[in-house]
Amino acid sequence: MNRSWNRFIHSFKYASMGIIHALKTEQNIRIHLLAGIIVFILAFIVKVSAIEWTILLLLISGIIVLELVNTAIERTVDLATNKEYHLLAKQAKDLAAGAVLVYAVTAIIIGLIIFGKAIMKYINPL
């Protein structure tokens, strides 16, 4: 194997290690992953369209990606500040967490739109 191919393969290994580390250490990413699994099960049950599947996949993967980026920002800030309090460090971490929150709320709203008819049938079966 040539050197660039070897680096390419190793990049997948390192990325996988990052995802596994986040799943082991970050509660929020586990919550989002569980929510995503539940959403996929519900989407299968209510038979959403192909476009809705695509939207749901983008939303679920997007929130997981944002959680990974948020964690990376938190780790970098902690490394740079030696966990000492700095206003800009706090703001960086709060902004990253805020991005995750905005995306999560947006995903919930879109999920309610996609599953709205099924939810209404369940609430009012007539």
For the cut 80, the answer to whether the pLDDT of residue 126 exceeds it is: no
Per cent of the chain over pLDDT 90 is 80
Cα–Cα distances in angstroms (integers) from residue 59 to residues 41, 110, 119, in the given order: 15, 9, 19
Domains along the chain with CATH numbers: 3-123 (1.10.287.3610)
Mean pLDDT of the chain: 93
In this structure, what DSSP letter does residue 15 have?
Answer: H
- For position 117, what pLDDT does the model report? 81
Q: Which of 52, 67, 74, 84 is catalytic?
A: 67
C-alpha 31/C-alpha 120 separation (Å) is 26
Prediction pTM value: 0.87
Amino acid at 53: W
The CA radius of gyration of the chain, in Å to the nearest whole number, is 19
Can you tell me the distance from the alpha carbon of 86 to that of 99, in angstroms, rounded to the nearest whole number?
20
74 catalytic? Reply is no
Tens digits of per-residue pLDDT, 89-121? 999 999 999 999 999 999 999 999 999 987 887
Using 50, 70 and 90 to split pLDDT, how confident is the model at 61?
A: very high
In whole angstroms, how far apart are CA 81 and each of 86, 90, 91?
7, 10, 13
Instruction: Tell me which H or E stretch contains 46.
Output: helix 27-46
Q: What DSSP state is assigned to residue 14?
A: H
**pLDDT tens-digit profile of 3-12?**
888 888 889 9
Tens digit of each residue's pLDDT (9 = 90 or more) over 16-40 = 999 999 999 999 999 999 999 999 9
The reported pLDDT for the residue numbered 1 is 61
